[in-house]
Amino acid sequence: MTRSTSLTINGETHVVDVDHRTTLLDLLRHHLDLTGTKKGCDHGQCGACTILVNDRRINACLTLACMHDGDDITTIEGLGTPDDLSAMQKAFIKHDGFQCGYCTAGQICSATAMLKEAKAGWPSNVSSSLDGKGALSNEEISERMSGNLCRCSAYTGIVNAIREAAGETGQ
Amino acid sequence: MKQFDYSRATSTSDATRAASVHGSAIIAGGTNLIDLMKLEVMSPDVLVDINRLDLHQITPTQDGGLRIGALVTNSDLAAHETVRRDYEVLSRALLAGASGQLRNKATTGGNLLQRTRCAYFYDTAMPCNKREPGSGCHARDGFNRILAILGTSEHCIATHPSDMAVAMMALDAVVEVENTTGDTRKIALDDLYCLPGSTPDVETVLQRGDLITAVLLPQPKAGLHVYRKVRDRSSYAFALVSVAAVAQMDAGKIAQISLAFGGLAPKPWRNQQVEAALTGQAPSEALFDQAADILLAEAQGFGANDFKIPLSRRTLKAVLRTVTETSQ
């Protein structure tokens, strides 16, 4: 059982006929050859598959492609290119925000969207006040990024990279 | 994952009609359902996608409360200005749950109806009375560290995993439900959930074809709002024990208090006797112990989760100290 679905991915429109069971993650990797997005646990626990749907970060493994007809999707391939890296991508390289690199695409997509959430004044579980005006401390970054695991434990570099990118985007 | 048909509801009546068919399941955020479908713990024949319905708004009600559309995401609800200001315990509970990615997808209605994380429910190689009625429960004598100490039965000791619902319970939330005939009814959140008894597969009073359209919060409760969650790691983990508390002090005494508990029972747990014992009293360690005695009078551990009995006492007492000291 399939359904015709139209999605805009990194600015390009794709019309695909997908089995209802196809997750958004499998559509990207297996049908559209956008293999930058990684499959880690496939159960929403590791964050390796984090992408942006309509500008919000989600786990691509826990949603079905057929549910996203008309949606605007950004993957790691849409954030920057090898010749024109995004500020977050540059900061991850500068601060060694990875070791094996498997979680990195998810980390960078997640962090990019997370900065927008913080800028919009969304509080977190560690915010002392709910007013959303607190500084983006290391503790805040760690809490807001807790949906992205790094088994190499490059967390120090990841936090430093996000801090730098946050500065560049006016945080 | 087993094959299924997919339909996209264009109206609430369309959704209730499609959901009334045997074997159908409503899908909203899907963060729990899709996982359960991958594991074939749940295998619906038809998914009814309600994401295009107009249930995304948070609006004030005529009686000074708040109406939260069933499709409002956990992120939007936690960040909503009125919720942050007037229903702080709800924002706090939402922010204590899941991850940023999941909160962006998980919805208000779906959060209420999420399934237990009991490992035996998830493992289709094991018996489970909730997944397969009559097959037995191996959790009682097995790995039950995260499971319930209150409201259990010989057939099931699963916990309800939500943080959001615990805060809503303390706030006297009401669930708005539309049925297949287009009628809308209101169910107090406490009455939405069933205890397992001999039918742990029946988790709520909802009938086939019912659609949760909104959660209604009454007027804000004055006083200090606290959500305290104890878990195995400091972020992105389910509660071992959680306490939602709203308390107001007057002249050194507890004028009003409402309390709800997560991680302890098959449903978000509320015991009005605990609140009655505290109301009108001056805070003291003895009083707090008395409240914990009432809460835990019928608590039963199953070995690995015995620790939850003293842990819930300590957590409740810590929360009571916080809300009575700082809201004098």
Q: How many residues does chain B have?
A: 328
CA-nearest residue to A41 within chain B is B35
- Fold agreement (A2-79, A87-168): no
Query: Where residue A107 falls among pLDDT bands split at 50, 70, 90?
Result: very high
Helix (H, G, I), strand (E, B) or coil at B102: helix
For residue B326, the model assigns a pLDDT of: 66
Cβ distance of A125 and B6 shorter than 8 Å: no
Q: B47 and A47: CB-CB below 8 Å?
A: no
Instruction: Indicate whether A171 pLDDT > 50.
Output: no
Q: List per-block mean pLDDT (blocks of 10 residues) for chain B, which spans 328 residues.
A: 97 98 98 98 98 98 98 98 98 98 98 98 98 98 98 98 98 98 98 98 98 98 97 96 98 97 98 98 98 98 98 98 80
DSSP 8-state assignment for residue B314: H
Q: What is the pLDDT of residue A168?
A: 61
Q: Please answer yes or no on whether B5 and A59 come within 8 Å at the CB atom.
A: no
A66 touches chain B (CB under 8 A): yes
Chain B residue with Cα closest to A49: B101
- Report the C-alpha gap between B322 and B316 in whole angstroms: 10
Q: Could you tell me the pLDDT band of residue A37, with boundaries at 50, 70 and 90?
A: very high
Interface probe for A, chosen from B72, B88, B101, B326 (most Cβ of A below 10 Å), is B101
* Closest C-alpha to B175, from B221, B222, B211: B211
Which pLDDT score is estimated for B60? 98
> What integer is the mean pLDDT of A107-127?
98
Instruction: Return the pLDDT at A150.
Output: 98
Helix residue ranges, H only, A55-137: 76-79, 87-94, 104-119
DSSP B88: H
| DSSP designation for A62 | G
Q: Structure tokens of A116? A: 């927008």
Integer Cα distance of A49 and B162 in angstroms: 24
Give the homologous superfamily in CATH for domain A2-79.
Answer: Beta-grasp domain (3.10.20.30)
DSSP letters, B240-301, are: SEEEEEEEEEETTEEEEEEEEEESSSSS-B--HHHHHHHTTPPP-HHHHHHHHHHHTTT---
| Confidence check: pLDDT of A19 > 70 | yes
- Average of pLDDT values for A5-17? 98
Inspect the interface and report whether the beta carbons of B100 and A114 lie closer than 8 Å.
yes
Q: Is the CB of A56 less than 8 angstroms away from the CB of B104? A: yes
DSSP code of residue B94: H
Cα–Cα distance for residue pair A75/A116, rounded to 1 Å: 16
Give the integer Cα–Cα distance in Å for A60 and A62: 6
Pairing of strands B184-188, B24-27: unpaired
Q: Which among B5, B99, B79, B105 is positioned nearest to A142, based on CA atoms?
A: B99
Distance (Å, whole) CA A141 – CA A147: 11
- For residue A133, pLDDT over 50 is answered with yes
Reply yes or no on whether the pLDDT at A57 is more than 90. Answer: yes
The rounded distance, in Å, linking the Cα atoms of A93 and B158 is 45
Q: Give A168→chain B minimum CA distance, Å.
A: 22
CA distance B297 to chain A (A): 32
Place of tokens 């601060």: A95
Whole-angstrom CA distances from B52 to A54, B25, B129 are 14, 16, 34
CB contact A47 to B (< 8 Å): yes
Tell me the percentage of chain A whose pLDDT exceeds 70: 98
pLDDT per position as a tens digit, A61-87: 999 999 999 999 999 999 999 999 999
Q: What is the CATH number of domain A87-168?
A: 1.10.150.120
Give per-residue pLDDT as tens, B69-83.
999 999 999 999 999
> DSSP strand E in chain A: where?
2-9, 12-19, 50-53, 56-59, 72-74
Confidence of residue A170 (pLDDT cuts 50, 70, 90): very low
Q: 3-state class of A63 per DSSP?
A: coil
The encoded tokens of residue B328 equal 């004098």
For residue B85, the surrounding DSSP H or E stretch is helix B81-86
Q: What is the dihedral of CA A161, B100, B217, B202, to 10 degrees?
A: -160
**Chain B CB contacts of A18 below 8 Å:** none
Q: How many CB atoms lie within 10 A of CB B85?
A: 12
Closest by CA to B113, choosing from B65, B168, B185, is B168
- What size, in residues, is chain A? 171
Query: What is the rounded CA–CA span in Å between residue B78 and residue B90?
Result: 7
Dihedral in degrees, nearest 10, Cα atoms B302, B296, B173, B10 = 0
- Pairing mode, if any, of strands B211-217 and B174-178? antiparallel
Looking at residue B115, its pLDDT comes to: 98
Domain extents in chain A? 2-79, 87-168
In this prediction, residue B230 carries a pLDDT of 98
Question: Looking at beta carbons, which residues of chain B come within 8 Å of A144?
Answer: 100
